[in-house]
Structure formats: structure tokens, C-alpha cells
Amino acid sequence: MAFTKVETAGINSTGSLNLNGPVLIGSGTSTGTESQTLQVTGGAYVSGNLGIGTTNPTHKLHVVGDARITGILTIGTGSITINGPTDTISGVTTINTASINNGPLAGFRNAIINGGFEIAQRGTSISSGVGVLTYTLDRWIVAANTVAVGVYQGTQTAFPYNHLSIVGSSGNTGVSIRQRIEAKNIRDLAGKQVTLSFYIYNATSNASTISVELDRANAEDNFSALTNFYSASLASTTNTDRQTVTVTLPAEARNGIEVRFSAPAITSGIFVLHTVQLEPGPVATPFERRPIGTELSLCQRYFQTASFLDAGYVVGGATLARRGFFVPLMRATPTVAVTASSNTNTTGAGFAAVSSSVYSFEAVGAAAGGYIYSATANFSAEI
């Protein structure tokens, strides 16, 4: 016997209750879709385990499948909250995990050295030269076509960090800003996804787009021959939005890579690059600010300056030599360029690099008597 509708004050059954249609509890009006066959309006109490997507729940709430919470999820006694609308997790004192954003958990995420442009051992104002790769602020190469441009370390308070500033020159037909990352500093990321992030402030009249290119060296740390694996054009304006590029490095990136920003021409105005970061993973995390001494040491693996003075008594023709040590050790035996020297009763005051760890400071006595000799030199083991 089948009833189409039963209205009763209560049901008290010890057997099963089989219903074919929707069950509405607490309200006589359905607010869900027809596929939602159980509607509880008001509270519900389940003393045992509640399973969703499982017929055998083992916890008070056991969901097999995806769950979505649009409000705040509170875990434990309220000390940990996950707040979706504000993208925050709070109250966590310990996280046990192998990786964050597919990279190291903390520190030295940024493979770019001097990405904040704080270090300027060669000086804070340098001409780019024409048609040559010129090292400017530490680790950063600038090359200009046709007409040289001025390269400066900018310290405007409008930006959170120092920046590399290009001052345009009439007749210039192109400028590139590059950093070469040594094989030993990038090979762990070869074959993996990385994110390049940077800011550009373009107050020039003619460089509305720039290109961002990534090349890898064809042989380890030898950038005389490169292979491009990423290239994109980006609009550049005076806005201060952070630009990001996510790319998977090729396996050959273990040879070292070159990050290059190119502008078609900078003939007037100022072009600024700052806060450059290359890190593992698909997300651009906040710029990694390293202690200034640490950043300087990272730069000095590639470039150092030294000054030396010696005085005493010498006889004519005698060789004077003192030994100094590179701290930190340099990448390779460096090229030596003496920038200043003086000789009093000596000749040929200068330096000679012996290895990546040692240099000598030398002169030859002119005649018997007191002497003073001094010299300053640049040591370059750039790549």
C-alpha cells in the first residue's frame, strides 16, 4: 500500500524508513536543488562519525574527496586559523615541511647577486662604453650601442632599495643590462621552474617596451657562446608594478645562465631597474634582502680591489715582494689592473695575481736607501 503524502505529528519507528523524494527537516520549503535530497534547516547533531563520500567514516568528520570552506577554518582550540579571504594562515609556530614554493625553506633563495644594487666597488657612476660589455655596479654588465650611456647607483627614496639607473644619451640605439650566473650557483635549479621578478621604472621618451631574455652558456661558465631559451617583450612605464616571469630552466642551464634586459634605445630621461630576484618555484616571493656584508662577500668572489704600501731600506736592484690574500677566495686567478702606484727609490710598484687565493705586491729597489712604494689595483674574476 503506497501513500503519496502523509501528514502526522510524529514518527516513531524501530525499523527502516525508506523515502524516494527529498527530505526536508526543520522547514517545509526546499531551498536547495532537487539533487540535494536532504535539507536540514537549523542545527543538526550527530553523535557518531559523519562520512561524506565514504560509507565508513573513521573520524567525527570524514570527507573523501574535495572540501571547500569559504569562511575561516579554525583548527584545534582556535590557535590556528586559515582565512581564505585574506590569504593568511596564523597561529602556526612550527611547520614541518620539505620545501616552500618548491625551493629552500629560507635564505639565499635569490640566485641574483646584488639584485638590490647595494654594492658598487667600481664606483657609483660609470660610463657604459660603446659596443663592449662593461661591468658597472657589482655583477651587473651594461652594454650600449652607438652612443654610451651613463650608469649610476640610484638611491632615491621612492624605491625600497638602491637601483641601477641608466641616463639616456642622444643617438643611443640600444642598451642591455645583464647578469651572468655562475654554473655552481644555478646548476641545482637546472630543469626546474624558476621565477624572475623585477621592477622597472621607465621615465624615458622612447623605451616603451623592453625585452627580457634568458640564455644559457654553451660550456660551463663560458659565455662567449650562448643559447637563448626564453624571450619576451614587456611594456615598461613609470608604474611601480612588479614584473614576473616564470620559466622552466633547461637542463643545460647547469653551465650558467645570463639574465638580460634590453631596451631598444635610451636617448633621454632615466631608465631604472631594481629589486631583481631569480628564485625556485612558480611564485615571486618578497625580495630577499641579505646583510650588506654578505652581499659584498658574494660580489668579491668576482671582483676585489686592494691597496698596499710598504716602506723600509733597500739596495739597488733588489726585488721587494709582499704577499696578500684574497678574502673571499676569487672564482679564478684574477686579471690585475693597477689603477694607481707610486715609487720612492723603487721602480715598477705593482701587483701580480698568483692564484685565486694569493697575490703578490712587488717593486725593485732603485738604489741603496730608504724606500716607499704603494699601489692600488682591481682584481677581476668575472664571468
Partner 1 sequence: MYQLTTGDTIIRLADNAFIPPDPANTDYREYLDWLDAGNTPEPAPPPPPPAPDYVAFWDALMASSLYASIREQSFTSLPLNTLATEFIALLGDAKAGRANETAIQQVVGAILQIGTFTEEQLVELGAAFAAGNLDGIYTLG
Using CB under 8 A, list all residues that contact partner 1: 221-224, 314-318, 331-338, 351-353, 356, 365, 367-369, 380-383
Instruction: Please state the closest distance from residue 370 (CB atom) to partner 1, in A.
Output: 12
- Please state the closest distance from residue 180 (CB atom) to partner 1, in A: 9
Q: What number of other Cβ atoms are within 10 A of residue 179's Cβ?
A: 20
- Nearer to partner 1 among residue 267 and residue 305 (C-beta): 305
Backbone angles phi, psi at 102, to 5 degrees: 65, 25
Q: Based on CB atoms, which residue is closest to partner 1, 195 or 346?
A: 346
Tracing cell 585574506 back to the chain, one arrives at: 86
Q: Which is nearer to partner 1, 202 or 380 (CB)?
A: 380
Query: Among residues 63 and 368, whose Cβ is nearest to partner 1?
Result: 368
Q: How many C-beta atoms lie closer than 10 Å to residue 4's C-beta?
A: 4
Contact 182, 383 (CB under 8 A): yes
Closest separation in Å from C-beta 376 to partner 1: 14
Q: CA of 99: how far to CAs of 19, 103, 109, 284, 357, in Å?
A: 50, 6, 12, 15, 35
Residue 367 CB, nearest approach to partner 1 (Å):
7
Pick the closer one to partner 1 by CB: 73 or 219: 219
Task: Determine the Cα–Cα distance for residues 337 and 306; give it in Å rounded to an integer.
Answer: 11
- Rounding to the nearest 10 degrees, give the CA dihedral for residues 287, 290, 292, 298: -110
For the CB of residue 90, give the shortest distance to partner 1 in the complex, in Å.
49
β-partners of residue 267 are none
Tell me the one-letter amino acid at 315.
V
**Whole-angstrom Cα Rg for the chain:** 33
Residue closer to partner 1, measured from CB, 175 or 353? 353
CB of 356 to partner 1, least distance (A): 8
Instruction: List the grid coordinates of 34.
Output: 532537487
